[in-house]
Structure 1
Amino acid sequence: MDLLKKKILEEGSVEEGNILKVDSFLNHQLDIAFLNEAGKEFKRLFADRKITKILTLETSGIAIASIAAQYFNVPVVFAKKIATKNLDRETYESDVFSYTKGRTYKIKVSKKYINKDDHILIIDDFLANAQAALGLMDIINKGGATLEGIGIVIEKGFQDGGQLLREQGVNLKSLVIIDSFENGKVKFR
C-alpha cells in the first residue's frame, strides 16, 4: 500500500530495539483519512471471505479494526488486557507476551461474543513475533469459531511472526512488510 509506505517514510521513525514509531497516525494520534483507506484495503483483501466479526487486541488495534469493520458491516470484539469490574465472569483467556512492553498479559474475551457460528477476521496494527495473533487465534479456537484470516497494517518481515503464521496455513495479509531497518531507515519488501 503506497500511501502507508509514504506515511511511514515521512512520519515514522526507527527507535532503539527495532521499534518503528508511527504514533503520529496509527496508534496514538489517529489519521482517520488514512485509516479509512486501510479499512477499504482490508475489505478488498478479504472480500472472498465470510466475515461475521473482527477481533483485535486492546488498545492500538481497536482503531483500525473499528474503521475496517464499517466496510464489512460487522461488529468488532477486542480482547482485554486489563481486567475490569464490568467484564463478564465467563471468558476465553490466553497469555500473550508483548514485545514492546516486555511483559506477558492474560487477554480475555467474554464468551458471549465468540461462538461456533462466527467467522472471524483478526486485524491488528503490527505483526512482529506473532504472540498477539497466536493468543487471539487461541481464543477463537476456544470459542469454536472459524478464523478467516489475519489483516496486519505493518508486518516486521525480519522477525519470525509472519513466517510462523504462514507456515501454519493462516490467510495472512499485511498492508506493508518491512524487511529491515538499516541505519535508521526503513527497507520495504
Structure 2
Amino acid sequence: MQILLDRIRKDGVVKAGNVLKVDRFLNHQMDIGLFKEIGKEFKRRFEGTEINKILTIEASGIGIACIVAEYFDVPVVFAKKTKTKNIAGDVYTTKVESFTHGTVYDIIVSKEFLGEGDKVLVIDDFLANGKALEGLTALIKDSGAELAGAGIVIEKGFQEGGKRIRENGIRLESLAIVDSMDDKTGEIVFRNE
C-alpha cells in the first residue's frame, strides 16, 4: 500500500530500541483520509471472508478499527486494559506483554460482546513481538468465536511476532512490513518494495 509506505517515510520517526513513532498520523494524531484508504485495503484483502465483528485492543487500534468496520458494516469490540464499573458481569481475560510500554497487563472483553457464532477480524496498528495479537486470539478462542484473520497496519518484520503468528496458521495481512530501520539515519526499508 504505497500511500502508507510514503507516509511512514515522510512522517515516521525511527528511535533507538527499534521504536517507530507514527504518532503524527496513526496513533496519536489520526489522519482519517489515510484511515479510509486503510479500511478499503483491508476490505479488499478480506473480501469474501465471513466477518461479523472486529476486535482490537485499546487504545491505538480503536480509531483504525472503527474506520475498517465501516467498510465491513460490523461492530467493533475493543479489549480494555483495565476493568471498570462499566463492564458488568462475566468477562474473558488474558495477560498481554506490551513491546512499546515494556509492561504486562490484563486485557478484558465482556462475554456479552464476544461468543459462539462470531466471526472475528482482529485489527491493530502495530505487530512487533505478537503478544497483543496472541492475547486477542486467546480471548477469541476462550469465547468460542472464530478468528477470521488479522489485519495489521505496520508489522516489524525483523521481529518474531509475524513469523510466529503465521506459523500458527493465522491469516495475517500486514499493509506495511518494515524489514529494517536505522535510528541514526532514519532509513526505513520495507519488504517487497
Equivalence for 1:188 = 190
Letter in structure 1 aligned against 2:171: N
What is the rounded CA distance, in whole Å, between the counterparts of 2:83 and 2:74 in structure 1? 25
Q: Write out aligned runs for 1:3-22 (5 A).
A: 3-22=3-22
Which structure 2 residue ranges, 5 or more long, are not aligned?
none
Matched, 1:172 2:186: no
Output the TM-score relative to the length of structure 2: 0.96
Alignment of 1:89-168 (within 5 A): 89-168=89-168
How far has the Cα of 1:184 moved from its partner? 2.6
Instruction: Give the letter aligned to residue 12 of structure 1.
Output: G
Q: Secondary structure at the match of 1:9?
A: helix
**CA deviation after TM superposition for structure 1 residue 89, in Å:** 2.9
Q: CA RMSD in A?
A: 0.7
Paired residue type of 1:47: E
Stretches of 4+ aligned residues off by more than 6 angstroms: none
Measure how far apart 1:2 and its partner are.
0.1
Query: C-alpha deviations, 1:40-71, integer Å up to 9, x for none?
Result: 10000001210000000000000000000000
- Mapped to 1, the partners of 2:28 and 2:157 lie a distance apart of 23
How far apart in 1 are the matches of 2:78 and 2:187? 32
Residue number in structure 2 paired with 1:37: 37
1:55 aligns with 2:55: yes
Quick one: distance in 1 between partners of 2:5 and 2:190?
A: 8
Q: Alignment identity in percent? A: 54
Query: What is the identity, as a one-letter code, of the residue corresponding to 2:116?
Result: K
Q: Which residue type is aligned with residue 8 of structure 1?
A: I
Q: How far apart are the structure 2 equivalents of 1:138 and 1:10? A: 36
Query: Aligned residues, how many?
Result: 189
Q: How many Å separate the matches in 2 of 1:82 and 1:99?
A: 18
Cα displacement string for residues 21-43 of structure 1 (whole angstroms, at most 9, x for unaligned residues): 00010000000000000001000
CA distance in 2: counterparts of 1:53 and 1:92, whole angstroms: 16
Letter aligned with residue 167 of structure 2: E
Kindly provide the amino acid, as one letter, of the partner of residue 80 in structure 1. Answer: K
Q: What is the CA–CA distance in structure 1 between the aligned matches of 2:151 and 2:54, rounded to whole Å?
A: 10
Matched residue of 1:77: which SS?
strand
Q: Distance in 2 between matches of 1:51 and 1:5?
A: 27
Distance, in Å, in 2 between the alignment partners of 1:146 and 1:102 is 29
